[in-house]
Amino acid sequence: MQLKNPILGLCQQSTFMLSAAKVDQCPDDEGFEVAFAGRSNAGKSSALNTLTHASLARTSKTPGRTQLLNFFKLDDDRRLVDLPGYGYAKVPIPLKLHWQRHLEAYLGGRESLKGLILMMDIRHPMTDFDLLMLDWAVASDMPMHILLTKADKLTYGAAKNTLLKVQSEIRKGWGDAITIQLFSAPKRMGLEDAYTVLAGWMELADKGAEIAE
Ligand SMILES: Nc1nc2c(ncn2[C@@H]2O[C@H](COP(=O)(O)OP(=O)(O)OP(=O)(O)O)[C@@H](O)[C@H]2O)c(=O)[nH]1
Ligand SMILES: [Mg+2]
């Protein structure tokens, strides 16, 4: 017999809800929301798809693909949000400014936002944008969990070394409330830890865990 994390069931039944180009198009600001942020091409949509066992979020070889805030419904009170990737140079400036404005408005004003999952490509962690997000999370008391994505691109030893290095840098600079783990979408690596974080933020952790066969 195995205890099953209740978030798993919700993620498996998640459905696409809506895309918002502006903050006033977002769903009602109530319940629990967790947003997936990160540099363009870091693997946000892939991580979301892997965690939800679906191809809900569009992934692409072309960075800058996710152009809107995409909402996925877990249940009536809980949502996941795929944010547009920041930092993609080829996006036209007016569009960039549009996203930046709306992303800032979303992050700064969203009451139901309970935590941010920040994706960093393990081969290029801690970009300037990541540092800004870390600063923002600490300044606004927003829980943050980091996925070092594409861990399959390195040997396990090299991935582990990078994890320890980035973790120590974050502890020194931003404190130990921010947690971090390895993740790989194709290898389905790191799912359990990510589910545990989501369940905690969405207040599902203590609700009598379902019993799986
Ligand atoms: N090997 C490997 N490739 C990955 C992984 N995650 C994402 N990728 C690839 O990286 C590219 C970008 O992934 P996306 O998930 O679309 O990235 P994104 O952060 O959503 O990108 P934007 O929406 O453009 O900001 C795609 O070609 C993915 O297949 C991973 O864990 N391992
Ligand atoms: Mg995307």
Distances (CA, A) of 68 to 29, 95, 99: 17, 11, 8
Residue nearest atom 7 in ligand 1 by C-alpha distance: 43
Average pLDDT over residues 112-121: 98
**What counts of helices (H) and strands (E) characterise the chain?**
6, 9
Contacts 24+ apart (CB under 8 A), 101-107: 102/21, 102/22, 102/23, 102/69, 103/69, 105/23, 106/23, 106/26, 106/35, 106/69, 107/35, 107/136, 107/140, 107/142
147 three-class SS: strand
pLDDT digits (tens, 9 = 90+) for 22-51: 889 999 999 999 999 999 899 998 999 999
Best substitution site from 41, 130, 191 to test ligand 1's pocket, by max atoms within 8 Å of Cβ?
41
Per-residue confidence (pLDDT) for residue 29, from 0 to 100:
97
What residues are in contact with ligand 1 under a 6 Å CB criterion? 38, 40-46, 59-61, 63-66, 85, 149-150, 152-153, 184-186
